[in-house]
């Protein structure tokens, strides 16, 4: 591996590596005072995606690793494009696991997503109901505010969080532009807190995070210290505005093949699984000649089912696998 790489895609965790990351460029330096925050460890979502953590699930080309590390050094979002199943979302989980950055903060984008959904939510109705019922905690506005994945990623901490903004191309046309200022400035305001910041005892308010913790927010502003490791994914269903593209490091991921495909099979099925199922792997890769869309999930499904359903009928092994590896863009036969 190149000596300057922080992320190497080797599989096993090395939390000390992120400490070797040099300081940011002057134009990407953020100076918020750190706040106490207990970052949760990786969760089941990461374990499901990575499988056996001792296998280098994210075997990547030198060019891919260079672009990933460029985003780390420059504190810029990584805009990852590629076909479904090419490992775009998995890359975020691999970064979090290998660099010891805790649970991935995931914001799954849909057509109705707005910037505020990623920043925070405010349960005004719940607070009103508690107030009407005379509950003492109704005056604690922080109980009714919860930072979203993006908002939580911008909490001032010395170590960055990994933020996955998944399938940004599904968003409304305005969302990519709305993201620009937050990703550039590394901060945002919470109007509900800014309005009361001058009241006695309200300058600093404890609010919930996407992780379920409580952190202090002073004068209604959330400001980052270490810019989050941000992965934006896209299935190439639309073009993004130039200003967003200029602020990102672009990475186009090819579908996993050869070493990456072998690593994926080993991670999910254990030692020897690639050799045992080489016939199904070959069947999957040979089928690409027709140019149809076959995500790698189909291969994993086929191997799993072949190990169980076809155990009593080994002669039907390839037939069963073929049924599960039909192209997605050709429709049922």
Over residues 233-238, the mean pLDDT reads 90
262-280 pLDDT, tens digit each: 877 887 887 787 888 888 8
Asked if the model's pLDDT at residue 53 lies above 60, the reply is no
Q: State the pairing for strand pair 120-122/145-147.
A: antiparallel
Q: Name the residue among 299, 301, 288 with its Cα closest to residue 329.
A: 288
Highest mean pLDDT: which of 29-33, 60-64, 235-239, 308-312?
A: 29-33
Consecutive H or E run containing 64: helix 62-74
Cα 160 from chain centroid?
13
pLDDT of residue 309: 67
Q: What are phi and psi of 273, to 5 degrees?
A: -65, -35
pLDDT of residue 266: 81
Q: For residues 232 and 248, is the Cβ–Cβ distance under 8 A?
A: yes
Q: For residues 78 and 115, is the Cβ–Cβ distance under 8 A?
A: no
pLDDT of residue 314: 67
Q: In the chain, what is the greatest distance between 2 CA atoms, to the nearest angstrom?
A: 77
The two three-digit tokens of residue 90, written as one number: 């998995």
pTM of the predicted structure, to 2 decimals? 0.87
Over residues 112-118, the mean pLDDT reads 96
Asked if the model's pLDDT at residue 55 lies above 60, the reply is no
Q: Name the residue among 95, 106, 91 with its Cα closest to residue 21.
A: 95
Cα 163 from chain centroid?
5
Asked if the model's pLDDT at residue 56 lies above 60, the reply is no
Q: How far apart are CA 262 and CA 87, in angstroms?
A: 14
Asked if the model's pLDDT at residue 142 lies above 70, the reply is yes
Q: How confident is the model at residue 328 (pLDDT cuts 50, 70, 90)?
A: low
């Amino acid at each position: 591996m190149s000596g300057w790489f922080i992320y190497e895609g080797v599989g096993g965790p090395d939390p000390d590596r992120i400490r070797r990351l040099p300081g940011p460029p002057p134009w990407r330096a953020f100076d918020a005072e750190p706040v106490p925050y207990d970052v949760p460890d990786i969760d089941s979502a990461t374990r499901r995606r990575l499988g056996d953590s001792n296998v280098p699930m994210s075997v990547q080309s030198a060019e891919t690793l260079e672009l990933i590390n460029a985003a780390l050094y420059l504190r810029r979002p990584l805009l990852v494009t590629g076909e479904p199943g090419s490992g775009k979302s998995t890359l975020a989980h691999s970064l979090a696991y290998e660099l010891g950055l805790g649970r991935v903060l995931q914001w799954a984008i849909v057509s109705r997503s707005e910037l505020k959904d990623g920043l925070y939510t405010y349960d005004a109705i719940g607070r009103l109901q508690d107030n009407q019922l005379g509950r003492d905690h109704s005056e604690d506005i922080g109980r009714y505010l919860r930072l979203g994945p993006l908002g939580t990623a911008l909490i001032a901490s010395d170590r960055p969080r990994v933020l996955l903004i998944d399938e940004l191309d599904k968003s409304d046309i305005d969302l990519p532009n709305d993201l620009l200022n937050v990703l550039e400035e590394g901060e945002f305001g919470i109007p509900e807190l800014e309005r009361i910041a001058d009241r006695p005892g309200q300058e600093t308010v404890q609010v919930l995070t996407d992780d379920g913790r409580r952190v202090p927010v002073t004068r209604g502003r959330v400001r980052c210290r270490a810019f989050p490791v941000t992965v934006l994914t896209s299935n190439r269903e639309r073009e993004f505005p130039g200003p967003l593209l200029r602020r990102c490091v672009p990475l186009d991921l090819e579908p996993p093949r050869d070493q990456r495909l072998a690593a994926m099979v080993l991670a999910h099925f254990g030692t020897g699984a690639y050799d045992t199922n080489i016939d199904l792997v070959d069947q999957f890769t040979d089928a690409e000649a027709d140019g149809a869309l076959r995500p790698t999930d189909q291969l994993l499904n086929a191997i799993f089912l072949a190990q169980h359903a076809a155990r009593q009928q080994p002669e039907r092994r390839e037939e069963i696998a073929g049924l599960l590896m039909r192209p997605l863009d050709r429709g049922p036969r």
